[in-house]
């Protein structure tokens, strides 16, 4: 969410930013919010004048009532002053109600106006315009056929989607045996990887209030992603970033405690509305999964340095598991409204012979901080921090990349050396069936 003062002073820049995000339908919102803001400021000014005059009139009524006891001719003047005090009070009540209404209207519109993107963001309408920046590791296509990832898992008796369908419907799974252990091993390895980078490990709440949801994500994303608990002001988290950033709602953070660097484990729950392609069956896009996340709360001047560090952590982690990856810069039209800059880390799929998204790293500037009323207090006064987030690993997708890139011709799966301590020292998984 932008600062209303910024919109007042830079309306054309805000409109140009909307155009860069290919959201022309939002252009009228700028003039609408400016008109409401002007009306609100006039309302506030009138209310303040009435409060000032009320104090003066109240004193005058007291004086006139005292004089009327000695001189009855002053009574009419005193009554007139009292009537004016009441009229002012009635008008003030109207103005205060109007202030509240206008403030709500302004906030609603402000939540819809996208954040100002960084000048380095490539301009394009959708993810087809995202730009490959760099590749890490050599993508290999083996000389044997690689089965679909659920077929690989089934060869180890490691997945049961039919049973999950009977129990919970589509978009769920049972993981079993070595595959389940591999799943948890990846999470544990990712946890320790981030702790070694200096991040504090945290297990956050898995449900959050509606005002936190509103603070951390756009309204569109909220409707398409979040599951609401019926009859309660609680939502199941779609990612632990939500509750991790929400930890700082309404807080004043001492400047000397920055940066706040946290890595969190959580289950994640998503509606995943809409139709998806053939490659998004299996465990690629599901309603429930587990994830290790990283978030940073920092000084504004440090946020781009942290952005660079965070996506590089993802590259380092995936390369340590022998998975080739690339960094893909997200274009303007592919950025969620709160984001200043974002990139995806994509893993190589030997079966598909293309890359697919496994991590998303984002700098949100001060948008979440402003929505959540997070502040930093330091030598230069009080100011808004910047917030960033990045996926460490989401094992369902990580498992696809890990299994495909480490599959051997005989159907076994080689365990990367870094992961072996987390799966009982196993160096290779032998399939139960072929």
**Residue 81 predicted with pLDDT over 80:** no
Q: Which two tokens stand for residue 118?
A: 């960084």
- Asked if 319 and 359 count as a contact pair (C-beta separation under 8 A), the reply is no
- Asked if 29 and 60 count as a contact pair (C-beta separation under 8 A), the reply is no
CA angle 350, 176, 434 (to 5 degrees): 50
Tens-place pLDDT, residues 138-172:
999 999 999 999 999 999 999 999 999 999 998 89
Q: How many CB atoms lie within 10 A of CB 39?
A: 15
Supply the pLDDT for residue 61: 60
pTM: 0.89
CA 88 from chain centre, in angstroms, equals: 45
Single out the residue of 246, 226, 223 nearest to residue 236, CA to CA.
226
Tens-place pLDDT, residues 175-200:
999 999 999 999 999 999 999 999 99
Overall average pLDDT of the 290-305 stretch? 97
Supply the pLDDT for residue 216: 94
Domain ranges for the chain, please list them: 4-110, 127-429
Long-range contacts of 312-318 (CB under 8 A, 24+ apart): 313/193, 313/194, 313/197, 313/390, 313/392, 314/345, 314/358, 314/359, 314/361, 314/390, 314/391, 314/392, 315/136, 315/345, 317/190, 317/193, 317/392, 317/393, 318/136, 318/345, 318/347, 318/358, 318/359, 318/401
Supply the pLDDT for residue 275: 40
CA angle 251, 379, 303 (to 5 degrees): 65
Overall average pLDDT of the 385-410 stretch? 95
Tens-place pLDDT, residues 307-350:
999 999 999 999 999 999 999 999 999 999 999 999 999 999 99
pLDDT tier at 49, thresholds 50, 70, 90: confident
Enclosing H/E stretch for 296: strand 288-298
Tens-place pLDDT, residues 241-293:
999 999 999 999 999 999 999 999 999 999 875 444 445 568 888 899 999 99
CATH architecture for residues 4-110: Orthogonal Bundle (1.10)
DSSP 3-state helix, strand, coil percentages of the chain (rounded to 5)?
A: 50, 20, 30
Q: Which two tokens stand for residue 244?
A: 């991790």
Distances (CA, A) of 377 to 249, 261, 323, 385, 386: 15, 18, 42, 10, 13
Q: Report phi then psi at 131, rounded to 5.
A: -120, 125
**Residue 44 predicted with pLDDT over 90:** yes
Quick one: fold of 127-429?
A: BirA Bifunctional Protein; domain 2 (3.30.930)
Q: How do strand 235-236 and strand 325-329 relate by DSSP bridges? A: unpaired
Residue 91's SS3 state is helix
Which of 198-207, 214-223, 264-273, 397-406 is predicted with the least confidence, judged by mean pLDDT? 214-223
Percent over 90 (pLDDT), the chain:
81
pLDDT tier at 66, thresholds 50, 70, 90: low
Single out the residue of 28, 212, 20, 38 nearest to residue 115, CA to CA.
20
- Asked if 406 and 414 count as a contact pair (C-beta separation under 8 A), the reply is yes
Q: Which residues pair with 378 in a beta bridge?
A: 381
Which of 15-19, 119-123, 267-271, 279-283 is predicted with the least confidence, judged by mean pLDDT? 279-283
- Asked if 317 and 358 count as a contact pair (C-beta separation under 8 A), the reply is no
**Residue 36 predicted with pLDDT over 70:** yes
Residue 234's SS3 state is coil
Q: How many CB atoms lie within 10 A of CB 373?
A: 14
Residue 39's SS3 state is helix
- Asked if 95 and 50 count as a contact pair (C-beta separation under 8 A), the reply is yes
């Amino acid at each position: 969410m932008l600062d209303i003062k910024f919109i007042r002073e830079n309306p054309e820049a805000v409109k140009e930013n909307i155009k860069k995000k290919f959201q022309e339908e939002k252009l009228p919102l700028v003039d609408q919010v400016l008109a409401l803001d002007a009306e609100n400021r006039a309302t506030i000014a009138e209310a303040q004048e009435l409060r000032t005059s009320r104090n003066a009139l109240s004193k005058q009524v007291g004086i006139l009532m005292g004089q009327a006891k000695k001189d009855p001719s002053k009574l009419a003047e005193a009554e007139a002053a009292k009537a004016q005090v009441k009229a002012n009070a009635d008008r003030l009540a109207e103005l205060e109600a109007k202030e509240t209404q206008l403030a709500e209207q302004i906030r609603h519109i402000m939540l819809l106006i996208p954040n100002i993107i960084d000048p380095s963001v490539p301009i394009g309408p959708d993810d087809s315009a995202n730009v490959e920046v760099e590749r890490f590791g050599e993508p290999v296509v083996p000389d044997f056929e690689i089965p679909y990832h659920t077929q690989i898992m089934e060869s180890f008796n490691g997945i049961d989607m039919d049973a999950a369908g009977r129990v919970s419907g589509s978009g769920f799974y049972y993981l079993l045996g070595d595959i389940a252990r591999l799943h948890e091993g990846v999470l544990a390895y990712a946890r320790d990887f981030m702790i070694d980078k200096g991040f504090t490990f945290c297990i956050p709440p898995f449900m959050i209030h509606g005002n936190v949801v509103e603070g951390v994500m756009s309204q569109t994303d909220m409707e398409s992603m979040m599951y609401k608990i019926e009859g309660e002001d609680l939502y199941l988290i779609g990612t632990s970033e939500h509750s991790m950033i929400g930890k700082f709602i309404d807080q004043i953070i001492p400047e000397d405690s920055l940066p706040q660097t946290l890595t969190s484990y959580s289950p994640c729950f998503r509606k995943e509305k809409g139709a998806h392609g053939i490659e998004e069956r299996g465990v690629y896009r599901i309603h429930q999964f587990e994830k290790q996340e990283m978030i940073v709360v920092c000084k504004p001047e440090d946020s781009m340095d942290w952005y660079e560090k965070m996506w590089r952590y993802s590259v380092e982690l995936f390369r340590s598991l022998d998975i080739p990856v690339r960094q893909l810069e997200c274009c303007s039209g592919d950025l969620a409204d709160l984001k200043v800059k974002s990139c995806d880390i994509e893993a190589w799929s030997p079966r598909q012979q293309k890359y697919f998204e496994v991590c998303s790293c984002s700098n949100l500037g001060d948008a979440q901080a402003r929505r959540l009323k997070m502040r930093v207090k330091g030598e230069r006064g009080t100011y808004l921090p910047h917030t960033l987030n990045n996926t460490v690993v989401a094992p369902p997708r990580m498992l696809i990349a890990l299994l495909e890139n480490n599959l051997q011709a005989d159907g076994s799966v080689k365990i990367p050396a870094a992961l072996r301590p987390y799966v009982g020292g196993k160096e290779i998984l032998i399939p139960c069936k072929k």
